Every structure is written in structure tokens, then in C-alpha cells.
Chains A and B, each alone.
Chain A
Amino acid sequence: MTAPSTRPAWRRLGFAPLLGLAAFALVFACHVSVGARTIPLPVVAEALLSYDASVFEHVVIVDLRLPRALLAAMVGAALAVSGALMQGVTRNPLADPGILGLLIGASFAVVLVVGVFDLAAPALIPPVAALGAVIAAMAVWGIAVAAPGGAMPLNLVLSGAAVTAFLAALVIIANLLDEQSFEQLRVWMTGSLAGAQGGVMLWALPWLCSGFIVALAIARQVTALAMGEETATGLGLNVGRVKALALFAVVALTAAAVAMAGPMGFVGLVVPHVVRLFAGQDYRRIVPWSALAGAGYLLVVDVAARMVLAPVEISTGLVTALLGAPIFVWLVRARL
């Protein structure tokens, strides 16, 4: 870290954030414009700035595409930040909400409540997802810590694989016992942005915001924690409190993402690694950049998911797996 500069804070940031935001805006606009019928960018701008309900394109943009783009951005940002925090706190380059069981925990809880207990109130879904995620996370962590060698990356991944397999089996059983819900949830379970319901999005928003705020608040401490717990304690850090806050942020963000779009794996794994290549190891920069990059990444992935096999739409969650799993494999090869 360089010595504090004498320039005002906003100047110190340099041009990078502006470039980033500009790139994001462009990706966002492309996402809105591309679809079954490509709507030219000027029309998109018109729809956003001077909305006219009688123009068909404007309606399509505002009622269909805009919500989906917003959803993609929010989910991508949430998962990326969640992954970044997990990698920092567990000091495990392979950590990600999917691998450590949070996604399946959240999905399982939602499937249980919606499918089995038939409580589909939008207000309920985010807290239920959060509960599922936190329980799964604690199970995975607990098993890894109890294994010989402690919470090494290897044990965490194996423990995550075990919990994931178990809960996944339960989810399929629950679906089999109730065929109707199966149809409703089948696409959601693979991670999809298609069924964006306004109700759930609104109720997930507080979780999303609180998760982001906490993540930004503890970013500095997470950087210290990444040096090792004993070193961090020596520096005066309250390690237990940071971990608890990090868990809250991760669970809140993951729950919000799952509530809105179902489990979408590998986003939290891939994006922070790319961000670290440019932003370094300081989590005060990694967290906001992960949010931006995650949002952009999922927007791009969503466009691909919609366009590659047009008119058939592949679930976005599948595409993130198709992209993310090879990167996971590459990470294993490079880092272990």
C-alpha cells in the first residue's frame, strides 16, 4: 500500500472506476437491446429516458428486459462479492457459495417451504433461503474443521461436496414426492433469470443491500484476516467478530441471489479471481470491483444463454457452470 496521497479522495481513484462504470453501462445496454428481436441502442435510450407506453419496443424494454437486466446485475454482484469474502476469510482460493454448500442449502430450504409446505409468499423466500444457507454453511465448516488437518481447502471442498450431494438428493426426493412443484421449480433449480418475479425481487432487496453494506464495512478487516488468523489477532483484530459479520454478509447476499434466481454456481468463484488480477489483494478494492465485475459477467453470460441456442433459452446457471467449472479445474491445477 502506498503512502496516503495529498490529492482529494475522488481524484485518487483515477480513471479506472469511470472506465469500469462505462463498460458496465455498455454491457447493460447491450443486454437490454439483444433478444428475440434486437432493439437498437438509441431506442433503448429513448425508452429509459422518455418512456412512451404506446410504443411496443418501449413496453418490451421496460416490462420485460429491464427487470431481467437488473436481476442479472444484482445476482451477479451479490454472488461475486459473496465469493470474494469467502475466499478472503477461509484463505481458500476454491471457496464459492456453491462449492461450500450455501447455494444448495438455500435451494433446499426454498424447495422445502414452497414445494412441501406450500408457502409461496414472496416475503418469506429470502429469509428461508438465508436460513438454509447458514445452516448448510455451518455444517460444511463444522465437518471440515473436525477433519484431520482442519479447515484446509481440500477438506472444505470435500465437505462441501458431501453436503451438496446429500441436500441435492433430498431436493430431488422432495420434487419426486410432489410432481407439480417439480415442474414449477425445475427450471429455477438450475439457476434461471427467466422467472423474475417483482415481488421476490423487492423483498430480497433489503437482504442484498445489508449484505453489500456489511461487506464494504468489513473489507479492511478481511484483508488483514487473509494474512492468517494469528497474524490478524496480533494486529488487534477481533477475528471472531469479523468472521461472524462475514458470514452474515455472505448468507444475506447468497440468500437474496437464490431467492431471486435460484442457485447459480461458480460466479462467486471465478469473478473474484479475475478481479484480483487487476485490483490486487486489498479487499476495499476487491469488494466493489467484484460487485461491478460480477454484475457485468452475469449480464454477458445471460446474453449468451439466451442467444447461443436461440430461440431455446439455456438456463443461465448452466452456462455459469459450463464456464466456471473449467476455470475451477484450472485453479486446482495451478494452485495445488
Chain B
Amino acid sequence: MSAGLLIRLDGPVTYALPVRALGLLAALLSLICALVVASLMAGSYPLGAADVAATLAGRAPSDLAQTVVWQFRFPRALAALAAGALLALSGATLQNVTRNPLADPSLVGVSQGAGLAVVAAVVAWPELPQAMRPLLAFGGALAVAALIQGIAMRRSGGATMRFILTGIGVAAFVSALTSAFLTYGQIDLAISALGWLAGSVHAAGWGEVAVLGGALLCLAPALAVASRPMAAMRMGPEMAVGLGLRVGRTRMALITLSVALAAAAVAMVGPIGFVGLVAPHLAHRLARCGVGLHLALSAAAGALLVGAADLAGRLAFAPVQIPAGLVTALIGVPLFVWLLLRTQARASL
């Protein structure tokens, strides 16, 4: 049993962590570092690795290098990583609480709700301070999630497929409403909002990084605490009650947590779809572990996904920037289809 485990069985703090999963986490983190370095090096003004290292250390070879790295590429890379981690965690939580492997915050209208709130505010009150956006996004996302939950819930418990289909319908409605706002608004605002709506990291500065990082720091402990109840929730509501979990309260808390995570990301970089769906599944396939480690792996996978998507979007058709959200859609949809074809658990829904 102890084979392949980092284990401590006695004392006030005990744990049993699979070594393979820990190793994988380390590997993903180093891949992330490599991705950041690549992001700093590549672009319309290419920099060598040595120059990048020097710039990061404070001894930039030129003012341009300083600007390019510290004003544009570095915050952008970090924002992409943080957004990816937040979305992946949101998806993992949502999949756990709905016990549905196809759940994703963008599929159930949460991202669109956040998007609508921000677009409506930007178009209707252009003088609105940037700092209000996270709050608006959170409010919009929560409102849409509550709406979907309210519509899809039924006495018999609320089938998760109904939840997803209702989410698709509500998402379509919200998207149409958002488009209506864009049509009504001024054209330059409309185009920039449209770019943001496609899910892009390119405008991210240190302000966005701060908010995203802050959100991660605040919500991560909540997730750590939630990982134990999430493990019990996997067994189904009745079994979870039998194991001593307060299911109703836990479900509400987890849904709120999932929405908060997605809303934070969407508020800063716009809706980026499929990350919340795909990253947790990637983590499952790469290593088997408990819920807590799986969350960490999902976050790392999500960060990598969005970081790579942003980099690809920046370089593929330069000088045209393809928003990261489009790239994740192109990668995510085939993976979603593959999951749709493979998931046997349909009967249980």
C-alpha cells in the first residue's frame, strides 16, 4: 500500500500522497516556467534567453527590452496562467458538485452572465471605473447561476442534464442580450468589448494580474478546505449524508465557489471557454490521486492551457492577435467531443 506514496501515518498531521501525482505536479510547474520564459522571448521583438534573464534580474539590455518584458509580456503571461488556473478550478468544482463530467462554467451560462454584466455596464456607463468590473462580473455570474439552478431544479432533485441544457438556453439568451448592447453602443466601444468578449488576455496589465492573483490566493484556501467534502460528494447525496456531510449546505457553497472562481477570471480577461471542462479531465488522465491533489493538477493544467493558447494566438497569425478564448475553443471542442463519445456515465444522469 505504501508503494508510490508519500506517507505519514502518525501525529497531529497525517497524509498519504501518491508520488506519481506529486511528480506530475512538479513537472507541470516546470513546464509553466518554461512557457513563461518562451512567452517573454517570443514575439514581434524577439529576445534571447540571456536578455530575458537579465531583464528579469533588473539589468535590462535596453529600454525597449525593459518595456516589452515588464509592461507587456510578463503581466500578460502571468494573467493567462492565473486565469487558466481559476477557470480550471471552477470547472473541477462544478463537475464534482453536479457529478457530471461535461460541466463547464462557459457551458452553463456563468461566463456569459459575467460577460453580460460587464458589457452592459461598459456600454451604459462608459465612465465606470475598472475596479468595479470584478464585482459586476461576480454579480452577473451569480445571478445567471442562480437563475439556471432555479429553473432546472425540481422536486426530484434536479437532473444535471437539465441543468446543462438550461444553461445552454440561458447562455444563448444572455449572448443575444450582450450582442444587443453591443449593437446599441458606440462602435469603438463595441469592437473593444467584442475583443474582450472573445476571451483575450492581450490587454492584461499588472492591475489584472493583481486581481487574478488575489482571487487565487483568497479562494485557494477555501478549495483546500472544500476538498474533503468534495471527495464525499462524489459518492452521491445519500451516501454523503451517511458519511456525515451536510449536503445541502455543501452543494450551495461549492456552486458559489465555482461561480466565484469563474467570475474572477472572466472579469479580468473575458470569457474563455472549455478550460474548465478540459483541464480537470486532463488531470484525471495524467495521474490518479485524491480530490485535493487533483484540484492542484487541474489548476496547473488550466494555467498551461490558457498560457499556451495565448502564446499561440499571439504568434500564429502575427501581427493579428487571435484571442486566447478562440484558441481554447479550437482545442477544447475536439476534446469535449471525445469526452462525449467516451463517457459511459450517461445512464446515471
Contact = CB atoms under 8 A, between A and B. Distances in A.
- Direct touching of A and B (C-beta under 8 Å): yes
| Majority secondary structure of chain A interface residues (helix, strand, loop or mixed) | helix
A159 to B, nearest CB: 7
Chain B interface size, as a band, is: 35 or more
A176 B168 contact: no
Nearest to B342: A148
B317 A177 contact: yes
B158 to A, nearest CB: 11
Interface in A123-151: 143, 146-149
A155 to B, nearest CB: 7
Given A143-B337, A143-B340, A147-B340, A322 B166 contact: no
Contacts of A265: 172
Interface stretch (B7-15, B40-48, B253-261, B322-330): B322-330
B173 A321 contact: yes
Interface stretch (A44-52, A110-118, A307-315): A307-315
B247 interface: no
A161 B320 contact: no
B191 to A, nearest CB: 9
A146 B341 CA distance: 6
A325 B183 contact: no
Contact of B170 (A158, A176, A325): A325
Contacts of B334: 166
B165 A336 contact: yes
Contacts of B102: 158
A158 B317 contact: no
Contacts of A325: 169-170, 172-173, 176
B177 A322 contact: yes
A153 to B, nearest CB: 9
Interface string A277-316: 0000000000000000000000000000000010010110
A190 B178 CA distance: 12
B98 to A, nearest CB: 14
Contacts of B285: none
B328 to A, nearest CB: 9
Given A143-B340, A149-B346, A336 B333 contact: no
Nearest to A333: B151
Contacts, number: 114
Contact of B333 (A166, A318, A332): A166
A309 B183 CA distance: 11
A332 B184 contact: no
A265 to B, nearest CB: 7
Chain A interface size, as a band, is: 35 or more
Interface string B151-173: 11000000101101110111011
Nearest to A328: B169
Contact of A162 (B165, B322, B333): B333
Q: Which residue of A155, A162, A319 has the most chain B CB atoms within 10 A of its CB atom?
A: A162
A204 to B, nearest CB: 24
A326 B169 contact: yes
A322 B170 contact: no
Interface stretch (A23-31, A71-79, A167-175, A227-235): A167-175
B179 to A, nearest CB: 5
Nearest to B325: A169
A176 B197 CA distance: 13
B179 A190 contact: yes
Given A326-B173, A329-B169, A173 B183 contact: no
B176 A322 contact: yes
A276 to B, nearest CB: 19
B30 interface: no
A173 B322 contact: yes
A119 interface: no
Given A159-B340, A165-B273, A315 B183 contact: yes
Nearest to A327: B169
B282 interface: no
Given A154-B161, A172-B326, A176-B320, A314 B183 contact: yes
Contact of A314 (B180, B320, B323): B180
A309 B177 CA distance: 13
Contacts of B274: 165
A315 B102 CA distance: 32
Contact of A329 (B166, B179, B325, B330): B166
B266 interface: no
B27 to A, nearest CB: 29
Interface string A172-190: 1100110000000001001
Interface of A: 94, 143, 146-149, 154-155, 157-159, 161-163, 165-166, 168-170, 172-173, 176-177, 187, 190, 265-266, 309, 312, 314-315, 318-319, 321-322, 324-326, 328-329, 332-333, 336
28 contacts: A94-B165, A148-B343, A148-B346, A149-B347, A154-B165, A154-B346, A158-B102, A158-B340, A165-B274, A165-B332, A166-B329, A166-B334, A169-B325, A173-B322, A173-B326, A176-B321, A177-B317, A177-B320, A187-B183, A190-B183, A309-B184, A314-B184, A324-B172, A329-B169, A332-B169, A333-B151, A336-B162, A336-B165
Given A154-B161, A332-B165, 20 more contacts: A147-B341, A148-B343, A155-B340, A157-B165, A158-B102, A158-B164, A158-B340, A165-B329, A165-B332, A165-B333, A168-B329, A169-B333, A172-B198, A173-B326, A176-B323, A177-B317, A265-B172, A318-B180, A321-B172, A325-B169
Of all A-B residue pairs in the complex, the 5 with the closest CB atoms, nearest first, are A321-B176, A325-B173, A169-B329, A329-B169, A166-B333
